[in-house]
Structure 1
Amino acid sequence: MAAELDELGYGTIWLGGNPSPDEAGLLLDATPRITIATGILSIWDHEAPYVAERHTALNAAHDGRFLLGLGVSHSALAGERYRRPYTAMKEYLTALDSAPTPVPTSERVLAALGPKMLELSRDRAAGAHPYLVTPEHTSEARDILGKDAVLAPELKVVLDTDQARARDVARGYLGRYLALPNYTNNFRRLGFEDSDFVDGGSDRLLSAMYAFGDAEAIRARVDEFLTAGADHVAIQVVTADPMKDIPREQWRTLAQALPLDKG
């Protein structure tokens, strides 16, 4: 799959699910061109010196194609370790800086939603990789990051012109995120209310967090993010059974419609 995404011209594969550098290495081995990024690696589960060592080794072996995406994850996933996440991220970045093989600022990005983490992304990383956001959030993030930092928001898409069916698919997947306060708090900052978080999300919330329709409709939504200040949009295709389905046909369709840099 990674090799095909490379051939199709996508610029980066973002690995979800708290991947290790070694998992990224498997995809680097399988591809000649595409960037492989952790999107994101949880700072609670991977020791900084080891991450730094593997980062250096992978980039040396693969022409600098590994991008280290870091995040503080969620209290529900990290458990009792989840304390003072902003401070913990700063300490983790310091550990990467002081490792025997340091990770350069230009080769790491942070999962950032709120202003403080976005500022940290600007000051101590190459930029930010926000998840579950809108073009409005992207515009605000660009203002905080400034013009030079990388801004790579994620966008969920359902490639289906049947709006009712597409919303059912979207609602079934979004529901798992509505139990995580980091996301619901950010939704509130964007103007949503508790009533939007019931039963997998309101239609209003789904329309904000997803792109629905054919390839042209998806392209139009991607363009909204680019116009708002994104440098790169990470597309996550959601299907009726996202834990089993491999959306290869959808990736192929979107590759023809999206503004991919195939150089």
Structure 2
Amino acid sequence: MNIGRVGIWSPELRLHPDPVEIHEAAAELDQHGWGALWIPGLGGGDILGDAERLLRATENATVVTGVLSIWRHTAEDMAAGHARLSRDYGHRLLLGLGVSDSAAAHQAGGVYRPLGALNAYLDQLDQAPEPVPADERLVAAMGPKLTELAGRRSAGTHPFLVTPKFTATARETLGAGPLLAPYQAVVVESDPARARDTARGFLAPFIGMGHYANSLKRQGFTEEDLAHGGSDHLIDAVVAWGDLDAIDKRVRAHLDAGATHVALHAISADSGLPLAEWRALAPLAR
């Protein structure tokens, strides 16, 4: 499945209250030429219904769940929904799967053993009446074991809040073939103080979550970097901010490090669909 080299990652394409505006925005993004439109799993909900809305609005872009929690969606339902949407819209749906955290597992009545749980879920997708092909699913992975599993049993991996250095390490683990599609937050703002304030407001809740904090520490960031919403060093490393050239430089850094695709999340200080930011980023679509 070819998702191009750059895509748009957007919670607004799920959460915006006006479905007509979502449809129009998705159609415009498709016209810009983005290879994929990514929607997050959030707390569950009808993620396949939200994916179908984007498939209906577009003609070329792949729609990717980035990522749905295996604790909140059964493999049976996801396989059946994937098969239906593939029949109706062609092979333009890529199922991104994630193991979330221990709280999600416990809430679902499960035991948090990420590797075993994900393997079992993938087995169920393989054994469904209409299996999900390995090249039409991918895995969110931050550590080497899950990254290896992603390369072996899916199209590849979609890591969250990572640097180009992490991308290079993940590519070494994956080998040459599998998809490596890091998430990249961006702020289209050249003033350092405003850009970092916007980035910090978005990142602070994630930094406070244990599994993301631990991932950032494994990437070399310190407790001081994670304090008070994130140091400037952390913000600058995981968020690309500035003009189009500055953001393009970060995209190219990931691609040079071995990424096959970069999913751009335009963060704005304003609420609603970030149409101005998407239009500013449109020259990067390829």
TM-score range, shorter chain: over 0.9
SS of 1:144 mapped into structure 2? helix
CA distance in structure 1 between the aligned counterparts of 2:96 and 2:120, rounded to whole angstroms: 16
* Corresponding residue number in structure 1 for 2:15: none
SS of 1:223 mapped into structure 2? helix
**Would the aligned equivalents of 2:106 and 2:112 in 1 still touch at CA under 8 Å?**
no
CA distance in structure 2 between the aligned counterparts of 1:140 and 1:22, rounded to whole angstroms: 35
Aligned-pair distance for 1:74? Answer: 2.3
Is residue 2:88 matched to residue 1:61? yes
* Corresponding residue number in structure 2 for 1:174: 203
SS of 1:157 mapped into structure 2? strand
Cα RMSD, aligned residues only: 1.3
CA distance in structure 2 between the aligned counterparts of 1:30 and 1:145, rounded to whole angstroms: 33
**Would the aligned equivalents of 1:155 and 1:236 in 2 still touch at CA under 8 Å?**
yes
* Corresponding residue number in structure 1 for 2:157: 128
**Would the aligned equivalents of 1:153 and 1:233 in 2 still touch at CA under 8 Å?**
yes
Q: Which moved more, 1:226-235 or 1:13-22?
A: 13-22
Residue 51 of structure 1 aligns to which amino acid in structure 2?
Answer: M
* Corresponding residue number in structure 2 for 1:200: 229
* Corresponding residue number in structure 1 for 2:60: 33
SS of 1:94 mapped into structure 2? helix
Aligned-pair distance for 1:87? Answer: 1.1
Aligned-pair distance for 1:79? Answer: 4.1
Which of 208, 215, 221 is the equivalent residue of 1:186? 215
Residue deviations 1:162-192, cap 9 Å, x none?
0011101111110010122221111111111
Q: Residue 140 and residue 251 in structure 1: after superposition, are their counterparts in 2 closer, same or farther (change >3 A)? A: same
* Corresponding residue number in structure 1 for 2:5: none
Residue deviations 1:82-109, cap 9 Å, x none?
5112211111000101111111111100
Residue deviations 1:22-46, cap 9 Å, x none?
2211111111111001000100011
Aligned-pair distance for 1:75? Answer: 2.9
Which of 72, 75, 86 is the equivalent residue of 1:48? 75
Per chain length, whose mean CA-contact separation is higher, i.e. which structure has more relative contact order (CA < 8 Å, sep 6+)? Answer: 2
Paired residues for 1:227-238 under 5 Å: 227-238=256-267
Which of 212, 216, 238 is the equivalent residue of 2:245? 216
Residue 238 of structure 1 aligns to which amino acid in structure 2?
Answer: I
CA distance in structure 1 between the aligned counterparts of 2:128 and 2:209, rounded to whole angstroms: 32
Residue 139 of structure 2 aligns to which amino acid in structure 1?
Answer: L
SS of 1:195 mapped into structure 2? helix
Q: Which moved more, 1:123-132 or 1:83-92?
A: 83-92
Residue deviations 1:32-89, cap 9 Å, x none?
1110010001000111011001111111211200000000112344544451122111
Aligned-pair distance for 1:245? Answer: 2.8
* Corresponding residue number in structure 2 for 1:10: 34
* Corresponding residue number in structure 2 for 1:84: 113
**Would the aligned equivalents of 2:164 and 2:254 in 1 still touch at CA under 8 Å?**
yes
CA distance in structure 2 between the aligned counterparts of 1:79 and 1:133, rounded to whole angstroms: 27
Gaps of 5+ in 2: 1-24
Q: Which moved more, 1:16-25 or 1:124-133?
A: 16-25
SS of 2:229 mapped into structure 1? coil
- TM-score normalised according to structure 1 size: 0.94
Which of 254, 267, 272 is the equivalent residue of 1:225? 254
CA distance in structure 2 between the aligned counterparts of 1:132 and 1:218, rounded to whole angstroms: 15
Which of 181, 185, 190 is the equivalent residue of 1:161? 190
Residue 158 of structure 1 aligns to which amino acid in structure 2?
Answer: V
Residue deviations 1:109-140, cap 9 Å, x none?
00111001100101110100111000000000
